[in-house]
Amino acid sequence: MRYENELESEFTEDVSEQAGWMYADLFLAMMALFLATISFVPQLTKLPQNSLQSSAATVAVGKQFDRGANQIYSTFDPTTIKADLTSFENKQSYPPNSTVLYAQVIGGYNSKTQTANDGTVTAIGFSIKLKNSLPQVFGSTNFDASGSDQIPAGSVILRMTFIPPDITKK
């Protein structure tokens, strides 16, 4: 019997030594697949000449619209808002009647008696009034409404990003 056990151990192959190499080879194969997939990135086609991007490049050569207006309002008054916009356009030397591309409206609320939703509702209401009262400026504006307890209750902060009128023409 003892002779049989010795023969068995001589001819039995132990593959546990190969497990580490198999693990390393697996990672090598995964790395090769990863590198093969990221090296073939398709090139994006160019935009047509009459696209918004090409017209923006020709208009914005002389003047960058890199400053936005930030105002706080305690009541909604379209005349005051329009006067503030005109004043801002003149101060920044923007073309007259520039439109507002994006507006962030942050409504204030009192954290002791109200919730953040109350501030957001105030901001949404202000946004709707802006869109209805001044459609020539805010007609195609994208609005973002939120609330903050850092602003007095019932007030809103209006942050606006402008776009020149030449870009919006088609």
**Domain residues for 142?**
67-168
Residue 153 falls within a domain, yes or no? yes
Classify residue 34: in a domain, yes or no. no
In a domain? residue 57:
no
Show Cβ contacts of residue 85 under 8 Å, excluding neighbours closer than 6 positions: 69, 100, 137, 160
pLDDT for residue 49 = 47
Residue 135 lies in a domain: yes
Structure token digits, residue 143:
């609005």
Phi, psi of 101 (to 5 degrees): -80, -40
Domain-located, residue 76: yes
Residue 164 lies in a domain: yes
Which tokens is 80 given? 């005051």
Residue pLDDT tens, the chain, 170 long: 555 555 555 667 777 778 888 888 998 999 988 887 776 555 555 544 444 444 444 444 445 566 678 888 999 999 998 888 888 888 877 777 677 888 899 999 998 999 888 999 999 999 999 999 988 888 888 888 999 899 899 899 998 887 776 665 54
End-to-end CA distance of the chain: 96
161 domain residue, yes or no: yes
Given this model, what pLDDT does residue 29 score?
92
Quote the pTM value.
0.58
- Helices (H), ranges, the chain: 2-11, 19-38, 52-59, 78-92, 116-133, 135-138, 165-168
State how far the Cα of 48 lies from the Cα of 54, in Å rounded to an integer. 8
- Domain of 85: which CATH number? 3.30.1330
17 occurs within a structural domain = no
Question: Domains in the chain: how many in total?
Answer: 1
Listed in sequence order, the residues at least 6 apart from 168 whose beta carbon sits closer than 8 Å to its beta carbon are 99, 140
Asked whether the beta carbons of 123 and 73 are under 8 A apart, the reply is no
